[in-house]
Chain A
Amino acid sequence: MPSPSTVTAVLAALLVMGLIVDLVRRRRLREEYSVLWLVTGSAMVVVAVWYDPLVYLTNLIGLASPNVTLFFFGMIFLVTLNIYASVKISELTDQVKTLAQRLALHEAAEREGREPGPRAGGGEGEERDGEEDVP
């Protein structure tokens, strides 16, 4: 007969996994991000029903108790995840900036009838043969 704490842990893990699957089903979470959470949920189930590896790990790294080990690795996992999310946000912010700039430049070019450019016209014979590629 499993202990109440084991049952609670397994139920919590299953709840998390159910939530993730539902978010993917409703297109609120991309598949690529669901992998990490499903693996985490599975790990929670394993640790809940099979305690020995946690005890072994606790002894190996010299921590006071399996609870501390769990919190320690849980904390590292969450911090890592947050850093990853920050990196992703930075990446997306850069992409949004580039898109907003392109849109603004495109709108300006349309407004100007694509007749902009130095009013001096670059003089005759100069290389005024079109626009330069812009990142």
Chain B
Amino acid sequence: MTTRSGSVSESEQVLIVVPAYNEARNLGPVLRSVRAAVPDADVLVVDDGSADETGAVARRAGASVVCHAFNLGYGAALQTGFKYALARRYEYVVHLDGDGQHEPSEIHDVLRALRAGTADVVVGSRYLGRPPAWIGFARHWGSRCLALLTSRIAGQWITDPTSGFQGCNRRAVRFYAQDGYPVDYPDADVLIMLHRAGFRVVEVPVTMYGRASGRSMHAGARVLYYGYKMMLAVALAAVGGWRRLGREV
């Protein structure tokens, strides 16, 4: 149950998952902020085959660490976190990026929405809160178009389908842990899959900062691939041809 300040209580069994790839420079402050915000939650860093000291930094910060032997992709790293949570029967999982773009104190907002029992997945939306850090013309409008398309298919207004700050309950974790969860960019396509499988999704406003340092995974030619992948996912969903993660296990 929640305390007055909204902190995680002893019986909540919350796991904070932070997927990280070459984030040694940003990870320390992020983990300290997470620890300060939710001292009773467990923190797991999934080191996705980093070449730097990401894993060591995470351990020094007191987080549990799962290390991929080589880089598998953001989605696969997240899924490893879900599998970890599933094996250890955590009730709620909240994941946020390790690059300092998200505000750890807002984990409480995500958890509050999950605990209310009206949602299986809570998406932290940068478009519901204060104006987000400027991400560039193409990415901004690409993101808006994707939001529109996703909302049309999902039948509910989703303002930020690309958010990396989300929370989910154990039922959704079990769904995510299946084969077929996207290994690269689990965004709009996952929300569409959730909708098709009957999960309840709500959004809460969150703050979005610019990266503390380093290079975003949405950079260079990968932006084009990202756009292609999302459009394909949306198109497949629109024609009802999506077969992955079609059922809940």
| Chain A residues close to B by CB (< 8 Å) | 93-94, 97-98, 100-101, 103-105, 107-109, 112, 116-120, 122-123, 127-128, 131-132, 134-135
Contact = CB atoms under 8 A, between A and B. Distances in A.
B88 A116 contact: yes
Contacts of B15: 118
A117 B88 contact: yes
Of A98, A101, A117, most B-chain CB atoms within 10 Å: A101
Contacts of A105: 66, 80, 83-84, 87
A93 B42 CA distance: 31
B40 interface: yes
B64 A119 contact: no
B13 A120 contact: yes
Interface in B81-128: 83-84, 86-91
Given A101-B83, A118-B15, A134 B177 contact: yes
22 contacts: A98-B179, A100-B72, A101-B79, A101-B80, A104-B69, A105-B80, A105-B83, A105-B87, A107-B67, A108-B67, A117-B89, A119-B42, A120-B10, A120-B11, A120-B12, A120-B40, A128-B89, A131-B88, A132-B86, A134-B83, A135-B178, A135-B179
A134 to B, nearest CB: 5
Given A118-B15, A122-B13, A104 B68 contact: yes
Contact of A131 (B12, B67, B89, B174): B89
A100 B68 CA distance: 6
Given A100-B72, A112-B64, A132-B89, 4 more contacts: A101-B72, A107-B66, A122-B11, A134-B177
A38 B83 CA distance: 44
Contacts, number: 80
Given A98-B179, A118-B13, A104 B67 contact: yes
Nearest to A122: B13
B76 interface: yes
B64 A97 contact: no
A104 B174 CA distance: 19
